[in-house]
Structure 1
Amino acid sequence: MWYVSSGRPYDLICPLMEDSTILAAAILGLVLGPMGGSSFHDFVIRTNTEWQGAVVGIVSTWAIFTAVLLMTSFLANSVHMWRKVDAHVTLIAILAYLLASCLEAYYAACYPPNGPRINLVCHRAEWIIATILCFINTALYVADFALSWLSGQ
């Protein structure tokens, strides 16, 4: 195990960031998969799933932030300000992913009271799997933040 001068174990952090970015891509695919050939806007209007846009926005935003942090971690990981930004982005990502996970769980559970009336979106396997992946991604961000905290950032 190799450490940078801050003592943060980057051989653990970088795979967490990589896994988080890969899971985000899978979540986006699963959330957007049921649309078929229609646009996101048409699907949302037809199925009353407006808050799926929030899930898509949260997941894609934090995937981009995580990818940027991962790319810069090899060059700037010894800079104190970068480590602070990394820790704060991770903390905010935890809160955002908790919100996204709860929203996705709501839709995966056939979002009462509208879900049963719309046969197209009730108990979608894709959304159930996306919910599980959202919670796993939240756990990855918690682990990343815990490692940041333990290393004294």
Structure 2
Amino acid sequence: MSTATASMAPVVGTSELLDYRHFGTLEEIYAHEMGRLAEAGVGDPEVTSTGGNCYALTGNPGRTADGRSIYLLATTNGEPALTTDSPITSWAVGLYEDQGDSVALAMGEASVDALGNSPDALGCAITRACTALHQYASAAPAGKVAHIGDRGMSWSPE
């Protein structure tokens, strides 16, 4: 004999549950940017989860001067992940030795305001990150990363 169970209240819109329907739309939302990654020579561009419901654009931008394969991670608006709920104002591109690395080999940033649209700013940030890697990374002070942004070259963290 079973006992009836009281019905639960519906989950409200502020639920912390992951909305898996959103996965397919990220590829569409960032289609122009992923096209720009491919135009810039980044192999296998995609939107990927970075954990904790965070996403980034990723791909394979090539190799370091000494032949190591590198990994590209691009995020928006100074956030550690893509932001889909506000207009894109800037792109940050980090080049890493491995996908799981937490410290970049080099960084590039570009403002959308300075370049007119998101794909152009992303392309500029990629160019800046690659320039930082190939021209400045070997001269980086201990614990610093070459970083090129709208204000020029610097060492991060500053």
After TM superposition, is the score higher than 0.5? no
Under a length normalisation based on structure 2, what TM-score does the superposition of the two structures give? 0.25
Under a length normalisation based on structure 1, what TM-score does the superposition of the two structures give? 0.26
The structure with the largest alpha-carbon Rg is 2
| Structure with greater helix share of residues | 1
Bigger relative contact order, structure 1 or 2 (CA pairs below 8 A, ≥6 apart): 1
